[in-house]
C-alpha cells in the first residue's frame, strides 16, 4: 500500500494547486539561485523550522496568534543568509502590481523566506540578491517548474556527513497529488548533510561517497562502522521547501501541515534535522477549492508528496563545475 501511495499519483507539480505560480532564477556565474512560489491572491500560511542552523525571514508573522493571516509569496534561496536579500526583489515585484497587506497608505507584500547554504561552490561573493528575486517573479508560471540544478537547487548538495569532497549533487523537485476534491503539492530544494533514500526500497539515491568517489556508501552505515564525521560548521546544509493546497485551512492548520510535511524529509533523507541543517518547510492554503481541509487526510498524504519531490529533485540534478557529481553520473 505504501508503495502504491508513494509512486503512481505524484508526477505533477506544486503549480497544479490553483492560485500557485513558481519561478526560478539560476545564476550563471556560479552554482546558486532562488525560487519564488507566488500566491498573488493571498494564501493562508504556516511554517515549521527544524534543524539547528536556520536562515529565515518573516516566520514569526506566521504564528497563528499574530495579526497577518495571508502571504503573497514564499522565497527559497541559495546564498546562505545573504540570499535573504532576494526577498526584497519579490516585494518590489508584488508592490508594483498593488499586491500586499494594506497598512495605512502603503501596500506591503508579505514574503516569508528561507535560505540554504551553497557558498562553498565557486565565488561565495556571488549570491542571489534583490534583482534575482525580481527575475524569479518575472519568470513565474503556472506551468510545471523545471527540476534539478535550477533556482534554489542550483548549488544544493547532499551526503556531506564526511565532507563536501565526498558529497553528491542535490537539486530542487516538485510533486503533487489530488485527493477528495483538493490538490496538494510540494516543492523542495534538497541540500542535506544526510543521504537521500528511496523510502520504498531503502536504496541510496544520492549521498556520501566512498573515499575514491566511485559510489554512495551510506553515511549512517559508515557511522555505525565507526567512521566518525569530521568537524563541520553549523549551517553548511539545509533543506527548504513549500507545500501548498487549494483546501480551506486556518493558520493553525497550516502550521500543522508544515509540521507533518517534515515527515516526508524524514522518509527520504537520513540523517535529517541535524546540528548543521536549518530545515524549514512552509505550508500555503489558497482556499480556491472551497473545500475545508481534512487534516487527517492531508497530514497522512503530505509526507508522501514531500518525499516524492525530494527524490525527483535529486534524480533530475546534474553535476556542474565547481561541484560534486550527480546521481545520474555515477551509473
Tell me what the mean pLDDT of segment 241-254 comes to.
98
Tell me what the mean pLDDT of segment 47-64 comes to.
94
Q: 1 pLDDT band (50/70/90 cuts)?
A: very low
Candidate ranges 4-8, 184-188, 221-225, 272-276; pick with highest mean pLDDT:
184-188
Statement: residue 232 has pLDDT above 70 = no
Mean pLDDT of the chain: 92
Show the cell assigned to 57. 525571514
Q: What would the DSSP string read from start to end of 32-57?
A: -EEEEEEEEEEEEEEEEE-SS---EE
Statement: residue 56 has pLDDT above 80 = yes
d(CA 151, CA 166): 23
Q: For 211-223, b where at least 16 C-beta lie within 10 A, e where not — what string?
A: eeeeebbbbbebe
Tell me what the mean pLDDT of segment 124-128 comes to.
97
Terminal alpha carbon distance of the chain: 29
d(CA 15, CA 143): 6
Element (H, E) at 140: none
pLDDT of residue 3: 52
% of residues, the chain, pLDDT over 70: 95
Q: 9 pLDDT band (50/70/90 cuts)?
A: low
Residue 46 sits at φ, ψ, to 5 deg, of -145, 170
Domain ranges of the chain: 2-330
Among 180, 85, 175, which Cα is nearest to 130's? 85
Q: Residue 299, class by beta-carbon neighbours within 10 Å (0-12 exposed, 13-18 middle, 19+ buried)?
A: middle
Statement: residue 60 has pLDDT above 50 = yes
Alpha-carbon separation of residue 275 from 118, 122, 144, 149, 278 (angstroms): 17, 24, 33, 25, 8
CB 188 within 8 A of CB 241: yes
Tell me what the mean pLDDT of segment 193-198 comes to.
95
CATH of the domain spanning 2-330: 3.60.70.12
Statement: residue 42 has pLDDT above 60 = yes
Amino acid at each position: 500500500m505504501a508503495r502504491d501511495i508513494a509512486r503512481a499519483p505524484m508526477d505533477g507539480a506544486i503549480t497544479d494547486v490553483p492560485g500557485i505560480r513558481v519561478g526560478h532564477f539560476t545564476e550563471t556565474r556560479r552554482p546558486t539561485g532562488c525560487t519564488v512560489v507566488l500566491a498573488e491572491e493571498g494564501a493562508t500560511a504556516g511554517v515549521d523550522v527544524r534543524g539547528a542552523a536556520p536562515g529565515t525571514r518573516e516566520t514569526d508573522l506566521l504564528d497563528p496568534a499574530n495579526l497577518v493571516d495571508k502571504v503573497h509569496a514564499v522565497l527559497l534561496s541559495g546564498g546562505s543568509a545573504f540570499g535573504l536579500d532576494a526577498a526584497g526583489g519579490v516585494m518590489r515585484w508584488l508592490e508594483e502590481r498593488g499586491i500586499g497587506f494594506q497598512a495605512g497608505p502603503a501596500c506591503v507584500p508579505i514574503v516569508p523566506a528561507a535560505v540554504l547554504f551553497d557558498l562553498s561552490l565557486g565565488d561565495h561573493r556571488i549570491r542571489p540578491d534583490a534583482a534575482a528575486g525580481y527575475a524569479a517573479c518575472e519568470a513565474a508560471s503556472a506551468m510545471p517548474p523545471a527540476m534539478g540544478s535550477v533556482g534554489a537547487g542550483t548549488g544544493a548538495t547532499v551526503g556531506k556527513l564526511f565532507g563536501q569532497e565526498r558529497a553528491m549533487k542535490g537539486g530542487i523537485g516538485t510533486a503533487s497529488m489530488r485527493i477528495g476534491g483538493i490538490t496538494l503539492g510540494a516543492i523542495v530544494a534538497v541540500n542535506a548533510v544526510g543521504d537521500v533514500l528511496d523510502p520504498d526500497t531503502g536504496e541510496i539515491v544520492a549521498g556520501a561517497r566512498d573515499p575514491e568517489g566511485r559510489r554512495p556508501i551510506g553515511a549512517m552505515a559508515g557511522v555505525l562502522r565507526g567512521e566518525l564525521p569530521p568537524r563541520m560548521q553549523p549551517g553548511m546544509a539545509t533543506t527548504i521547501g513549500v507545500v501548498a493546497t487549494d483546501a480551506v485551512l486556518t493558520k493553525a492548520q497550516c502550521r500543522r501541515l508544515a509540521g507533518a510535511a517534515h515527515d516526508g524529509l524524514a522518509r527520504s533523507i537520513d540523517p535529517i534535522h541535524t546540528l548543521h541543517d536549518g530545515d524549514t518547510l512552509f505550508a500555503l492554503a489558497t482556499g480556491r477549492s472551497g473545500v475545508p481541509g481534512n487534516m487527517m487526510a492531508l497530514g497522512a498524504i503530505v509526507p508522501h508528496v514531500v518525499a516524492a519531490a525530494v527524490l525527483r529533485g535529486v534524480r533530475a540534478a546534474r553535476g556542474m563545475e565547481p561541484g560534486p557529481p550527480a546521481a545520474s553520473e555515477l551509473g
